[in-house]
Structure 1
Amino acid sequence: MNRPFLFTVQLALTLLVAAFLVVPVLMSMLAGVTANFFQGISSGLTLRWVWQVLDLYADTLALSLGLALACLVCTLILGVPAAYALARRPSRLTRLIEELLVVPVAVPGLATALALLIAYGGFREFRTSAAFILVGHVLFTLPFMIRAVLAVLSSIDLKTLEEGARSLGASFPQRFFGVILPNCRSGILAGSLMVVTLSIGEFNLTWMLHTPLTKTLPVGLADSYASMRLEIGSAYTLIFFVMILPLLLAMQALSRPRRRKET
């Protein structure tokens, strides 16, 4: 079998798989701007369903964005120092802690939500607030922030950088904010985009923790498909992709290694 033929077969299979995955998404998004899904594009294009989604579910969009930003702040405050501590003193204990941090990701979201309900469900004001969902999102996304920052810190000579800064008279805050953070900026950016993306799209855990007044975007999306016209649910999907795709593209761009400029 010659190489051109093999390449053609591989390309055809890749395009076929990509079409299998992408076409349903595109059809769903197209249904959100179609006057009547069952008649197809011939019925005309309209933004009527998009405006209805914004009218009916604007609060879910605002809540999701607010939770994602709050989750990002919490994971930065907790995750970056934790990654620094794990990278500064590598040992069996730190590796064990690192593996334990992944438990909320490995455990199904419904199980994590049930554990939170059992532990804190008795606090009524807390249970019915968006802060309760925020706790679940932080538990779920914190490992991703720590892993992203830890990967960068583990790839640099952290000890030499700190000793050099200390020899120049830099205090610990000066070393941390002036030396450590700039050197792990790429990990912080990648982790931040991942946290925001996961928080906006998280459904399993949120569905268990939400109340009628604390619906997030994915929960509203499920509600729209269950109780509204198909076109409204599809318009909701379109809005969701408009919000999430820029974050995914940015995360993909930041994950690429930077080319060094030739001197």
Structure 2
Amino acid sequence: MRRDWKFYSQLGLTIVLCLFIVVPVVMSALAGVTVNVFQGLSSGLTFRWIIEVWDLYTASILLSLWIALVCLAVTLVTGVPLAYVLVRRPGRLTRLFEELLTLPVAIPGLALALALLITYGGVSGYRSSWLFILTGHVLFTLPFMVRSVAAVMSAMDMKMLEEGAASLGAGFWRRFFTVIVPNAKPGILAGALMVVTLSIGEFNLTWMLHTPLTKTLPVGLADAYASMRLEIGSAYTLIFFVLIMPLLIAMQTLADRGKRVSKRIETAEDTL
């Protein structure tokens, strides 16, 4: 196929846009391993800033990962059944509930945090616990899990699948866990990917809900950039990428594998 000037102009524009996005990330990563960011690479490379960040913010980093994993568990336990009910029992009440469910996404994170502070801020033990931040993260991320799972469930014929399983003697819970959930796996994995990434990177909501003892990774990153050397903040960013990228790649791989399995199942069903 002959490639004209339009193809090369689009390719050039794509490369420029990619560089515009990637170059700042690379520069920030290099700043985290540079002796002096203002002198550049000529000042030499060092792991001093990374070690210093790890010593100062280990608790914040581990707390963020823990909250993200617990948030994922809570949204899985609540989000998948909610999506099933919304798809299986459509009606005015379920549509109203779905709209209410998406309110935390529609309003600013600071407003949601303020609402939680007004409602539960007086509960001292709860207010000073990481569970308070977890509550905000669950409210913010649950709609993404429900929408992802519901989209996949809407695309499959759940009534036929359940009737087939029921004809073989399967009860409701067995049908749900052995028929519905496996077929909804691509949506569940996609929702899990969004929940984990949103929870780890959430700043606005967390900034208002955190205490000095419940500082998470994004809040610590903001503090590092505001109150310390630029190299410290850049090293913090580098650690963030090192921690999050393997998790994202692993979850994306699982999501792609789930899609391939679903396609093979659909092909086999069409053949039969």
TM-score by length of 2: 0.91
Q: Give the drift of 1:246.
A: 2.9
Gap runs ≥5 in structure 2? none
Q: Give the drift of 1:168.
A: 1.1
Q: What CA distance in whole angstroms lies between the structure 2 residues aligned with 1:250 and 1:153?
A: 23
* Residues 193 and 252 in structure 2, CA contact (< 8 A), matched pair in contact too: no
Listed one character per residue, the Cα deviations across residues 1-27 of structure 1 (whole Å, up to 9, x for unaligned) are x95200111111111111112111110
Listed one character per residue, the Cα deviations across residues 69-118 of structure 1 (whole Å, up to 9, x for unaligned) are 11011101110110010111123432332232211011100000000000
Counterparts in 2 of 1:74-223, with a 5 A limit?
Answer: 74-223=74-223
Moved over 4 A (4+): 250-253, 259-263
Amino acid at match of 1:34: T
- Residue 224 of structure 1 corresponds to 224
* Residues 79 and 145 in structure 2, CA contact (< 8 A), matched pair in contact too: yes
* Residues 136 and 205 in structure 1, CA contact (< 8 A), matched pair in contact too: yes
Q: What CA distance in whole angstroms lies between the structure 1 residues aligned with 2:168 and 2:211?
A: 54
User: RMSD of aligned C-alpha atoms?
Assistant: 1.8
Listed one character per residue, the Cα deviations across residues 107-141 of structure 1 (whole Å, up to 9, x for unaligned) are 10000000000000010110011000000000000
Gap runs ≥5 in structure 1? none
- Residue 45 of structure 1 corresponds to 45
Q: What CA distance in whole angstroms lies between the structure 2 residues aligned with 1:145 and 1:167?
A: 31
User: What is the aligned length?
Assistant: 262
Q: What CA distance in whole angstroms lies between the structure 2 residues aligned with 1:58 and 1:27?
A: 24
Sequence identity (%): 68
Q: What CA distance in whole angstroms lies between the structure 2 residues aligned with 1:206 and 1:89?
A: 35
Q: What CA distance in whole angstroms lies between the structure 2 residues aligned with 1:204 and 1:220?
A: 13
Amino acid at match of 2:123: F
- Residue 260 of structure 2 corresponds to 258
- Residue 36 of structure 2 corresponds to 36
* Residues 190 and 255 in structure 1, CA contact (< 8 A), matched pair in contact too: no
Amino acid at match of 1:72: L
Q: What CA distance in whole angstroms lies between the structure 1 residues aligned with 2:252 and 2:5?
A: 31
Q: Give the drift of 1:258.
A: 3.0
Q: Give the drift of 1:249.
A: 3.6
Could you say if the C-alpha distance between residues 163 and 153 of structure 1 is closer, same or farther in structure 2, counting changes exceeding 3 Å? same
Aligned to 1:258, what secondary structure does the other structure show?
helix
- Residue 239 of structure 1 corresponds to 239
* Residues 203 and 218 in structure 2, CA contact (< 8 A), matched pair in contact too: yes
Amino acid at match of 1:258: R
Q: Give the drift of 1:178.
A: 1.1
Q: What CA distance in whole angstroms lies between the structure 1 residues aligned with 2:135 and 2:121?
A: 12
Q: What CA distance in whole angstroms lies between the structure 2 residues aligned with 1:170 and 1:215?
A: 47
Q: Give the drift of 1:255.
A: 5.8
- Residue 10 of structure 1 corresponds to 10
- Residue 59 of structure 2 corresponds to 59
Deviates more, 1:88-97 or 1:191-200: 88-97
TM-score by length of 1: 0.94
Q: What CA distance in whole angstroms lies between the structure 1 residues aligned with 2:22 and 2:157?
A: 42
Q: What CA distance in whole angstroms lies between the structure 2 residues aligned with 1:42 and 1:101?
A: 53
